[in-house]
Homo-oligomer: A and B are copies of this chain.
């Protein structure tokens, strides 16, 4: 049975040493969360997920969710109690508005805590994850009346949320949505249509489920400009704030799927269900994007979370399992065999996973802090810069973290050999659970296209220029540091490749947009590797500063080795990305459709 230990000390090290959290302490939005509070919350949260959430991971996979003939769904044994404890402990509303019962802590803290939840149990942690996303969308776009009625229950997690976009004939292409909304005399709408793949779409964890539904008001323009967003509760709220009459939305079936069995993936049938408009008519997509952007970051965190837990269990196995001898001769001749860890290729697999995890956690901390800065930074320019970075990095984190999350779960599984393929060891569940993150909330190809076609050109490439400038400035500023220098060569080369790739895109992507599409996935990964390389350089700087003060501990030494590994073994891929994307679209587009 796999185990999980939330990496609290790494998170705190990154906040303190790499991102100088002390500088934020009195900034607007952060004042409720001095570092000792942050650390206490993370430690308590870690304890909660380790003790309550993680033990349900495997039972959730085995039992799955069960739909009954009346359309109700039972979650796996223990989920209901654990969810209640999550709500009661205030964990769902960690960053929620205190006016609605939230804890009022900064968003970054909820994001960093969410890594632990996903590390422990993705299927379970999706329930609060989606709820938080729905709260965010309602907060920005909901009417005061809707907010007053729903946010008190949703902020705490007593009621959960969903996002209902996909229909049988359309996932990515939301312009094709057919679900209809007909205005009712009381100002509400009657919603009719079928939504599929609705995560947390039906369950027994909460008294009510609040669906945010994209639909087309009768007579609306065709395409994405005719889509509106509606709030459709499972039960209509009663006058006292509880639940009243059952609404006309039913779970028609639940999907049999590869993983995340503990989370219901529902087909929802809306049959004249009562709904209320969220935001303006025909402006549903921008409103939903508030939820989707948060959800995309959430999915990125799933990639990191599963990669971390997969690493921990593979490393534990490699430190215990004895098989073969070191290539240099027996290390422990008195034992029947040496530990797996003596084999360089086993170390390679483990270090590839871990060097990603710790670099990615740094990137996550940075972008999580950026979310709060984008809201609360005192001057407009700083808010804009933060918003730029957040917009640019959201598809990168979603696409790159989830691609690595899956690949890393596979690598960790490989360390266990045959046992990795056997269900009882839990590694194959990580692989199956990690797989969905590359698909939902916009498949990773869609993220890559969002990056190259939308985020890069936006505002004259302001966000891209700021990022490239920041990394270049860091390298220029640190080049005199003899201790740091050996760690910067790989990043310097990666930055050069990213600059060339960006130039290639700006030259060729406009002339033929297929060039941008053909380059998109390689560009996204090149970007991600460069950003991770930048994070590793900043981590090394922080470690050297500590060591410069005479501090010495194995955790700091390990960071230096991992940074070097990342540079030697993972950054070389940037050149391959550049070579591939520079090939352009012509060969890709040459094969006629019928020849596929």
Residues of A within 8 A of B (CB): 166, 170-173, 175-176, 196-197, 255-259, 315, 318-319, 322-324, 326-328, 336-337, 339, 341, 343-351, 354, 406, 410, 413-414, 417-418, 420-424, 428, 431-432, 435-436, 438-440, 443-445, 448-449, 453, 512-514, 516-518, 520-521, 554-555, 557-558, 561-562, 564-565, 568-569, 572-573, 575-576, 579-580, 583, 585, 587-596
Q: Chain A contact residues: over half helix, strand or loop, or mixed?
A: helix
Are A348 and B453 closer than 8 Å at their CB atoms?
no
Q: Of B322, B421, B449, which one neighbours A436 at CB under 8 angstroms?
A: B421
Residues of B within 8 A of A585 (CB): 344
Q: Of B258, B327, B336, B448, which one neighbours A517 at CB under 8 angstroms?
A: B327
Distance in angstroms between the alpha carbons of A413 and B588 in the assembled complex: 19
Are B423 and A431 closer than 8 Å at their CB atoms?
no
Are A568 and B592 closer than 8 Å at their CB atoms?
no
Residues of B within 8 A of A406 (CB): 410
Write the nearest CB–CB distance from A391 to chain B, whole angstroms.
20
Write the nearest CB–CB distance from A135 to chain B, whole angstroms.
24
Q: Of B171, B336, B348, which one neighbours A417 at CB under 8 angstroms?
A: B171
Distance in angstroms between the alpha carbons of A592 and B351 in the assembled complex: 12
Are B565 and A351 closer than 8 Å at their CB atoms?
no
Residues of B within 8 A of A349 (CB): 445
Residues of B within 8 A of A521 (CB): 345, 348
Q: Of B173, B444, B520, B596, which one neighbours A324 at CB under 8 angstroms?
A: B173
Are B345 and A520 closer than 8 Å at their CB atoms?
yes
Are B315 and A453 closer than 8 Å at their CB atoms?
no
Distance in angstroms between the alpha carbons of A319 and B592 in the assembled complex: 11
Are A423 and B341 closer than 8 Å at their CB atoms?
no
Q: Contacts A324-B172, A327-B517, A445-B414 given: A572-B568 contact, CB under 8 Å?
A: no
Write the nearest CB–CB distance from A512 to chain B, whole angstroms.
7
Residues of B within 8 A of A259 (CB): 421
Q: Contacts A345-B521, A435-B431 given: A327-B513 contact, CB under 8 Å?
A: yes
Most buried by B among A418, A432, A573, A583: A418
Write the nearest CB–CB distance from A596 to chain B, whole angstroms.
4
Are B256 and A591 closer than 8 Å at their CB atoms?
no
Distance in angstroms between the alpha carbons of A241 and B529 in the assembled complex: 64
Distance in angstroms between the alpha carbons of A444 and B318 in the assembled complex: 16
In the complex, what residue of chain B is closest to A562 when comparing beta carbons? B591
Residues of B within 8 A of A561 (CB): 587, 590-591
Q: Contacts A257-B428, A554-B594, A591-B561 given: A516-B445 contact, CB under 8 Å?
A: no
Residues of B within 8 A of A517 (CB): 327, 343-345
Are A596 and B344 closer than 8 Å at their CB atoms?
no
Distance in angstroms between the alpha carbons of A448 and B575 in the assembled complex: 24
Are A579 and B589 closer than 8 Å at their CB atoms?
no
Name 18 A/B residue pairs within 8 A (Cβ), A-sorted: A170-B337, A171-B417, A173-B324, A255-B423, A258-B421, A258-B431, A327-B513, A328-B512, A344-B514, A348-B521, A414-B439, A418-B440, A428-B435, A561-B587, A561-B591, A568-B580, A569-B583, A572-B575
Write the nearest CB–CB distance from A405 to chain B, whole angstroms.
13
